[in-house]
Amino acid sequence: SRLQCPFIVQLLYAFQNHEHVYLVLTWASGGDLFSLMGRMNRLFSETEAQFYSAEITCALDHLHNHNIIFRDLKPENVLLGDDGHILLTDFGLAKDVRKELARSICGTPEFMAPEAWTGCNISVSPLRPGGLWFVLLEQIDAELNAVGLDRHVGVGVLVYLMMVGVTPFFDPEKRRYDRTRALREGAYRTISTVFGVKDPPSSDADDFVAALLRIDPVDRLGAPGGIKVATHSWLVAVDW
């Protein structure tokens, strides 16, 4: 009830009988982003990818400001209202991390940050009062190993998927996600390389995705003390 964001599904009412619990949620007549990709029968334009990624970023930032990590960003969990704007849904894996660590390894592998499925502990860091910066702890010389931000990696993967048609670390030979590639910096074809000379996207698009997919979460776009996702040059035209 404390989440009031136009890009997040709202719980409007709840009731129950002897057999079931009923939840009345925001109506999203446009289906989900994954279904839209299928209906369009084409790749998203750069402008369309910017539009959806900006709204997803707003939704995630709102969650982070309330100390909630979403943990399952993927196109199936991005609904579309009748006005065309996104509605983030399915909070089954979301977690309020104000009081306890989030130790579970969960989410959809293609959209997870590498450190998210290595078993690192996640807790709130006081680096930004009122916001959610979480600390990834590993027992390496008993010191802090890395700092990252909840699943903004997923935004980079989504942008790549919308513009290329597959996720960055998809192995075309094995026809599946290759987790080992996700642990190697730059182990994917850039968007510009995929398009070649025919209608290439801006260099900012490649830089945006690369900045979100960096292996070291300290250097990743959106990391504490670094550049915020919303201020990247690729989203400079967005009227926040």
Mean pLDDT for 158-179 is 83
Residue tagged active-site, from 32, 72, 178, 206: 72
Mean residue pLDDT of the chain comes to: 79
pLDDT at 134: 40
Which amino acid is present at 118?
Answer: T
Residues forming beta bridges with residue 80, ordered by sequence position:
86
Q: Report pLDDT digits (tens) over 1-24.
A: 678 899 999 999 999 999 999 999
| pLDDT level of residue 174 (50, 70, 90 thresholds) | confident
Mean pLDDT for 69-85 is 92
| pLDDT level of residue 135 (50, 70, 90 thresholds) | very low
137 versus 177: the higher-pLDDT residue is 177
DSSP secondary structure, 21-85, as one string: EEEEE---TT-BHHHHHHHHTSPPPHHHHHHHHHHHHHHHHHHHHTTEE----SGGGEEE-TTS-
Q: Are 185 and 176 in contact (CB under 8 A)?
A: no
Asked about 219 being catalytic, the answer comes back as no
| Rg of the chain over all Cα atoms, to the nearest angstrom | 18
* C-alpha dihedral, 114 to 118 to 119 to 124, nearest 10°: -30
> Reduced to 3 states, what is the DSSP secondary structure of residue 4?
coil
pLDDT at 223: 74
H or E element that contains 153: helix 152-164
Phi/psi at 147 (5° precision):
-130, 135
